[in-house]
Every structure is written in structure tokens, then in C-alpha cells.
Amino acid sequence: MQKYLKLLQELAVWFEHFELAQVPRSQNKKADVLSKLAYLTFSHFQKQVLVEELPCKSIDNDLMVASVEEEQSNWMEPILQYIRNNALPNDKYEARLVRERAPMYIIQNDILYRKSYFGPMMRCVGPIEAEMIVDEVHNGSCALHSDYKTIAAKIMRMGYFWPSLYRDVAKFVKRCKSCQSHAPQNRLPRHDMIPVN
């Protein structure tokens, strides 16, 4: 909808007068019927109705996905190495962790995904992209200044995963001035201020 609005605003400058109004659904029947014309065949129209068929969408549907250069050695690397080449880190403890965690992951089209019991697979991201995602969810167009658990859950519902997700979001929220100023404050008197009878 945002893209359509932007396109509309660009086109609006060509009109002498332009007004944008929100119409309640009950008064929107004509437009609703018109919008459904696309599903009908036009052969039975008795009166002349001008219908322009749009061969493609007015908006560019390809989202620009910034390609993020992650450092080679991030948390995904040992898991990728193990799944691809059965290679384990030299450190015994590290190796055990990788072997235990690997079954939770899968590679598809060269991308590492974390399997999920509750929903679709989540795409694994490195620290740079992770930081960008937290920032977007927290401060972006639909800014969510909420507690860290809500934000972390939203990121996972969006289909992203990294192991320190909860910890990173908690740190981010702590740094956010807006979150801190709206955080619930303890209005109870301090213990040492309660009068003693």
C-alpha cells in the first residue's frame, strides 16, 4: 500500500486539483465492484464500458534487498562447514556443540535456515544483518518500542534467526532513549522511605 501511495503522490502533481479521502467501506460499493471487474469476462457488457487492462502491476514488486557483506567467520560458519563437508572445529568442546546443533539447521540454495517447530524455517543471519534487522523493527517504518521479548518474537515471526537474538535485542532496547523514557516506572516509595509506626 505504501508503494501505491507513493506512486499516487507522484502522479498527483500532474492534476490541477487532487484530494485524497478515506471512504468508509459502506460507501465504497461502486469502487469495490469496479475492482472486481478484473475477475470477470467483459463480453456480456451491454453498454459500452471502457476497461483498460493493465498487463503488469503499477508498482515495482521487487523489494530492494541490500546485499550485506558479512565477515567470513561468524557463528554460521562452523555449522555450514559441518553440514557441507562434515568438518568440525579442532576444539573438542566447540566440535561437540556444532554436532549437537547442526540437526536444527538446513541449507537451501546456499542459505542456512534454522528449523522451527512452530512455524516456517527461519533464515539465519550474521551479526551485521542482525543489527540492521533489530534497528528496522525497532526504529523503522512500523517502529516497535516494546519490551525485548516482544521484539525478538516479532523478528522470529518475520523469519530471521541468530543465536544471540534475545540478548542482542535486550541490549538494543536498553540503549534506546525512547524505550527508556516510556518504560514503566516504579512509583512505590523506596523501602527506607516507608514511615515506621
Contact residues: Zn ion, CB under 5 A = 145, 176, 178-179
For Zn ion, the closer CB: 156 or 176: 176
Report the nearest approach of Zn ion to the CB of residue 173 (Å).
Answer: 6
Contacts of 128 (CB under 8 A, 6+ apart): 68, 69, 70, 71
Name which of 139, 83, 73 is nearest 111 in CA terms: 83
Report the nearest approach of Zn ion to the CB of residue 130 (Å).
Answer: 17
For Zn ion, the closer CB: 164 or 178: 178
Listing from the earlier edge strand, what are the strands of the sheet with 160-161?
105-108, 111-114, 122-124, 160-161
For Zn ion, the closer CB: 101 or 145: 145
Name the grid cell of 73. 567467520
Name the grid cell of 92. 573438542
DSSP state of 113: E
Report the nearest approach of Zn ion to the CB of residue 144 (Å).
Answer: 8
Report the nearest approach of Zn ion to the CB of residue 151 (Å).
Answer: 9
For Zn ion, the closer CB: 35 or 178: 178
Task: Specify the DSSP element, H or E, that contains 107.
Answer: strand 105-108
For Zn ion, the closer CB: 112 or 179: 179
Residue pair 124/114 in contact by the 8 Å Cβ criterion: yes
Residue 102's CB is within 10 A of a number of other CB atoms, namely 17
Report the nearest approach of Zn ion to the CB of residue 146 (Å).
Answer: 8
Name which of 72, 80, 65 is nearest 127 in CA terms: 72
